[in-house]
Chain A
Amino acid sequence: MYVYIYDNFLRQPKHASVVKAMEVRLTDYGIAGKILRFNNYTDAKPIIDDEIKRGAKTVVIVGNDATLGQVLSRGATCDCIFGFLPVGPDNSIAEVLGIPIGVEACDVLSKRRKERLDVGWMNSRYFVSQLHVLPSKVEVIYDERFKVSAQDKMEVIVCNLKPFYWKSDPKDKVSRVVHPQDGKLEAFLRPLTRKRWWGYKYEDPSIFPFEEMEIYAKEPFTVEADGKTSKEIKVKIKLARNKVEMIVGRNRKF
């Protein structure tokens, strides 16, 4: 049995036609199911657990990167198969998973090509897309072997599924992109150096693939992971292997 978790933004009229077309396509394939509406304050885990008790085998997330991150970060431990139907903008993870945006995603879902995926573990929660430490004076220890530091502030981005886009200068028209690699988490460190008079300038990023890392600072720093922000003084990040079983497309990038 299929259960569909719709993000709240899909209520907007501009998405109505795509959602309608998807529902028709899913009915054609015979995989239509119960629809649940999801908003920012909903915890996905109890909802998914309830549906599993009622017989759900596949939970399909309908929305964008934020929806996928929000649901999977909570529901990673649930015993079911996850699917994803990307709708609208901000859907860079769909490309990585090989799922086309819009109605064609239903075709991928119907083929049920399953892969076990790794997720990141940060302090006491999972993250699926990206973890972002806003610029602050932090130090990073990798795999308990070596320490990375910068002279001033440093921004840390840990990519799991979501590629990392960056510009060396805000005026740059062309964005650079770093695509996640396989088997490990990737940390991108961007030190900031002071400009001559005021403000900061980003340096080129350092890239370290790792399985375990610790970020710590003397003062609390802000951490964003899958849309959830918190203040931390020490963050331990690990890789949880084969945690989530997900339906992916043939054109996936892994």
Chain B
Amino acid sequence: MIFQKASPRIALGNSEDLMDGVAEAPNFTDDEVETIVGPSVHVEGDFASQGNIVVKGSVSGSVTTSRHLTVEQGAKITANVKAGSARIAGEVKGNMKVKESLELTSTAKILGDIDVKILTVEPGAALYGKLTMPGVDLGEVKAMRSGRGAGRKAEEVSGVAVV
């Protein structure tokens, strides 16, 4: 772009007054939406962005962002996902590695392993895969699996889970 300085006042908004071809200041959204994959658009390959990503269409390959990923209802990702944080309302087929928080809404469907720090799951979300969270001692997990484990600070789930 022609701009050098970072500006948080970016992205989509409505402009109600376009008189004389001169636009009034639009209603900027506070969200720094940078990349939007619209509906009926298909993205193929290593899809990476340094900003927020909103997926409404379909993506295959891999998805990487250091910031927030939003997968809207009806969207489909067939890829391994790496994100800073994420909110999933669509379908993801692939492993997910989320640095901070992951939110699965009631329409979310995940087929793959999840590695996340904080997980929020709404009733109705479907998950098939292994869930790994930091702070769990591997020895403790092994002990738990062999039936000797008592306390369970974090969970590791295998199989189908419909919450």
List residues of A whose CB falls within 8 A of some B CB: 89-92, 94-95, 101, 115-119, 128, 145-151, 159-161, 163, 165, 174-186, 189-191, 193, 203-209, 239, 242, 253-254
8 Å CB contact of A118 from B2, B11, B45: B2
Q: Which of B36-44, B112-120, B124-132 contacts A (4 or more CB under 8 A)?
A: B36-44
User: Do A175 and B41 have beta carbons less than 8 Å apart?
Assistant: no
CB-CB nearest 10 A-B residue pairs:
A254-B3, A146-B45, A182-B3, A206-B38, A177-B15, A207-B36, A90-B21, A117-B2, A89-B21, A177-B26
Could you show 14 A-B contacts with beta carbons less than 8 Å apart? A95-B23, A118-B2, A146-B48, A148-B37, A165-B18, A175-B15, A177-B14, A181-B10, A182-B1, A182-B5, A191-B38, A203-B38, A206-B37, A209-B34
Question: Which residues of the other chain, B, contact A165 by a CB distance below 8 angstroms?
Answer: 15, 18, 23
User: Do A207 and B34 have beta carbons less than 8 Å apart?
Assistant: yes
Given contacts A95-B23, A209-B34, A209-B51, contact A181 B3 (CB under 8 A): yes
14 further A-B contacts with Cβ under 8 Å, apart from A183-B6, A253-B7, are A95-B23, A117-B3, A147-B44, A165-B15, A175-B15, A176-B13, A178-B11, A180-B3, A181-B10, A189-B41, A203-B39, A206-B36, A209-B51, A254-B7
Least CB distance, B127 to chain A, in whole angstroms: 27
Given contacts A118-B3, A128-B2, A147-B44, contact A181 B23 (CB under 8 A): no
Least CB distance, B23 to chain A, in whole angstroms: 5
Least CB distance, B155 to chain A, in whole angstroms: 34
Question: Which residues of the other chain, B, contact A204 by a CB distance below 8 angstroms?
Answer: 38-39, 56
B49-63 residues with Cβ-Cβ distance < 8 A to A are 49, 51, 56-57, 61
> How long is the Cα–Cα vector from A254 to B38 in the complex, in angstroms?
26
User: Do A178 and B42 have beta carbons less than 8 Å apart?
Assistant: no
